[in-house]
Amino acid sequence: MSRTDLVEKVKTAILISGGGSNMVALVKAAQAADYPAEIVLVISNRPSSGGMAKAEALGVKTVCIDHKDFKTRKSFEQEMDRVLREHDVELICNAGFMRILSPWFVRHWLGRQLNVHPSLLPKFKGLHTHERAIEARETEHGCTIHYVDEGMDTGEKIAQAKVSVSPSETSETLAAKVLKQEHTLYPNVLKDVANALIFRRTQ
């Protein structure tokens, strides 16, 4: 019997804004009986997010919290925080979640919020990472999973995966190569982080 048979899985929420392919990879990985995290909720800040239908098709609860319905960033985040607590969420995975989070929210979830970023941080923080890597004539590019802190894409790095940039690369071909790596790396990292949380619980 493994340690995860003895203790509850780590209740995890995924925050998305778009197509949700990383969310799908995480949900599918978490369907394995011995995976230490359970995806209890997917939240999108955009009603048009294609990931919501995908999460529902996979049997995961979804909640849309449209940031445009709130007067302030803080009130939007307070509602997210309320919904996360309501579902006893212990860990958050940002997966293509394209809203900047305020310091109060980040501090509240410090050490319990992960993000996937499409570059080899600290290179290319922010947007348009693939175009910028090609423009900079990088020969290697990739993705990073990191903890979320108060800066933009500055939190403690957990893992990275690299791809090579060929001379004929376009931002589309590079994005597809990197995304493929994200889909393997993120579930592996979530597994390690959740196992570590479970280990801490048993101490």
Q: How far apart are CA 170 and CA 156, in angstroms?
A: 29
Whether 117 sits among the annotated catalytic residues: the reply is yes
Taking CB under 6 A as the rule, does residue 116 contact ligand GAR?
A: yes
Report 136-155 residues binding ligand GAR (CB under 6 A): 143
Taking CB under 6 A as the rule, does residue 182 contact ligand GAR?
A: yes
Q: How far apart are CA 77 and CA 4, in angstroms?
A: 32
Taking CB under 6 A as the rule, does residue 19 contact ligand GAR?
A: yes
21, 44, 62, 181: which one contacts ligand GAR (CB under 6 A)? Answer: 21
| Contact stretch for ligand GAR (CB under 6 A) within 7-15, 71-79, 83-91, 111-119 | 111-119
Report 41-80 residues binding ligand GAR (CB under 6 A): 51
Tell me the residue nearest to ligand GAR as measured from the CB. 96
Contacts with 150 (C-beta within 8 Å, 6 or more apart), sequence order: 103, 106, 107
The tokens for 102 are 């305020």
| Closest approach of ligand GAR to the CB of residue 8, in Å | 27
Strand arrangement, sheet containing 91-94: 62-64, 37-44, 10-16, 91-94, 113-117, 140-147, 157-164
Please name every residue paired with 44 in a beta bridge, in sequence order, or none if there are none: 16, 64
Binding interface with ligand GAR (CB under 6 A): 16, 18-22, 51, 95-96, 116-118, 143, 179, 182
Q: Mind telling me the catalytic residues?
A: 117
